[in-house]
Structure 1
Amino acid sequence: MIDRAAIPATPVAWTGARRIIRSLYPPIDLFEDIAAPEDWPLLISAEQKTNPRLMETIGNLDLVPAARRVGGAGASYLMAPFTHVSPDRPSRFTNGGYGVLYAADRLETALAETIHHHERFMARTAEPEGWTSQFREIVLDVNLWAHDLRGDPARFGEALTPDSYVESQAVAADLHAAGSDGIAYPSCRQPDGECVALFYPDLAANPVQGRHLDYHWNGARVDLYREPGSGAVYRIKVIA
């Protein structure tokens, strides 16, 4: 078991970090609106009178402290990971009870992380070979004091087990409850890659959409990705 008190806190400031999300998720009007976040509860109350399905779009706004909400252009990319959570969608640093925004230090790292999870999803389906889901690259800045799991695998390896989230979720739950900004950690899928898991949306800024991406499933793994805008196709190198 990892000693939570032994995890150092380190400043992490990345300009141009990368996040890859499914393209099927549209922007959420409330978050993109010019209204200030402190006015959102009143707007939601008024809008619900004519749009009873509104909360399905916005998610659970109560999961984000009012002082840590962000609005304006691109804010959907920062808010949605915290308002749309479910125990049915756990991840490395949450059991689905609270939101986490994951970002990587560069595109190659983000690709490796998302391709791994897409492969696991596709392996559970009977989908034939072909180009599958569409994704989009989000470019953003992150700035936080992160509890840092990088650089000491002997101490922190339990939280970085490639295919088990038991210890990582337990560590993250304690840190989240104690008010941590988030966690910096080495990528489990890309050698030399680094990632951050943010516990609040206001720790990221300036999100803009980058490239659209398609992943190709060959029946066993994702072997190619494509940029529809340029038509360029790239082969995914297998990492032993």
Structure 2
Amino acid sequence: MTAAEESPVARVEWNGAVRIIRSLFPPIDLFEDIADPADWPLLLSAEQKTNPRIMETIGNLDLVPAGRRVGGPGASYLMAPFTHVSPDRPSRFSDGSHGALYVAESYETALFETIHHHGRFMARTAEAPGWTSQFREIVLDISADLHDLRGADPASDPILDPDDYAPAQKLAAALRGAGADGIIYPSVRHPGGECVALFHPDCASAPRQGRHLDYHWNGATVDLVRDAGSGAVFRVVEGGAG
């Protein structure tokens, strides 16, 4: 085992943790239903007879162990990252063959994590400057035993490399295979911030919608963030949003 695989396991209890996602993803009816997740396969079988495209909305339910599925109000925010995966969309702790639920301890850390990734997308596609896609803040609670990488040095540890995700993906695959619930690690995009990568949706609970946000792309970076509810605009500066 590597040193990272032998990292200590810490009990993480976060109330009011934050995940920011694109607003274009609507809730998925099956996950929001009051039906017991144990009944989902039967409901899906019946629904597919009249709506053969239902699986495009739900994704691959088989990727989530039956005993770790969650349902009810807001459950789409917990389930969708695990049922909608693709090798074309890898992330730090997933090669795209399985899901990971990324959550930050604070709003500001979540903001800077998404600003970074949205900026990279805008640059790759050579988007014109302007206000871009709307995002939504999801507030949720975390309760899980996670492998603790908070003692790692982001400047030198390959698991926290800002661009090369291969070492982190290899670690995550080994930990998932050993039955781990996930990883807690220092944010690479917001110094001092902390994030978790959860391997199962039942490690989080009580998801509720927070603010709606707009990001402004100036042609080189995301430089402004607007609270769509209040209309307040904040300038993005190194180390924080002012």
Please classify the TM superposition score into its range, dividing by the shorter chain length: over 0.9
Maintained 8 Å contact 1:33/1:73 = yes
Q: Does 1:144 align with 2:156?
A: no
- Which residue of 1 is the match for residue 186 of structure 2? 186
1:204-231 Cα distance to aligned partner (Å, 9 max, x none): 0000000000000000000000011100
Q: Does 1:40 align with 2:40?
A: yes
CA distance in 2, matches of 1:156, 1:80: 33
CA distance in 2, matches of 1:175, 1:68: 17
Tell me which moved more, 59-68 or 118-127: 118-127
Q: CA deviation at 1:124?
A: 1.1
- Which residue of 2 is the match for residue 135 of structure 1? 135
- TM-score, with structure 2 as normaliser: 0.96
One-letter amino acid matched to 1:152: A
Change (3 A) 1:213 1:3: same
Q: CA deviation at 1:49?
A: 0.4
Task: Give the 5 Å matches for 1:197-216.
Answer: 197-216=197-216
Cα RMSD between the aligned structures?
1.6
Maintained 8 Å contact 1:2/1:156 = no
Maintained 8 Å contact 1:103/1:196 = yes
Maintained 8 Å contact 2:10/2:148 = yes
Q: Does 1:74 align with 2:106?
A: no
Q: CA deviation at 1:157?
A: 1.1
Q: CA deviation at 1:238?
A: 2.5
- Which residue of 1 is the match for residue 6 of structure 2? 6
- TM-score, with structure 1 as normaliser: 0.97
Maintained 8 Å contact 2:32/2:76 = yes
Maintained 8 Å contact 2:150/2:185 = yes
Q: CA deviation at 1:239?
A: 4.5
CA distance in 2, matches of 1:67, 1:98: 17
Maintained 8 Å contact 1:13/1:144 = yes
Maintained 8 Å contact 1:20/1:135 = yes
Maintained 8 Å contact 1:149/1:156 = no
CA distance in 2, matches of 1:193, 1:63: 30
Maintained 8 Å contact 2:5/2:174 = no
Q: Which SS does the other structure have where 1:6 is aligned? A: coil
Unaligned runs of 5+ in 1: none
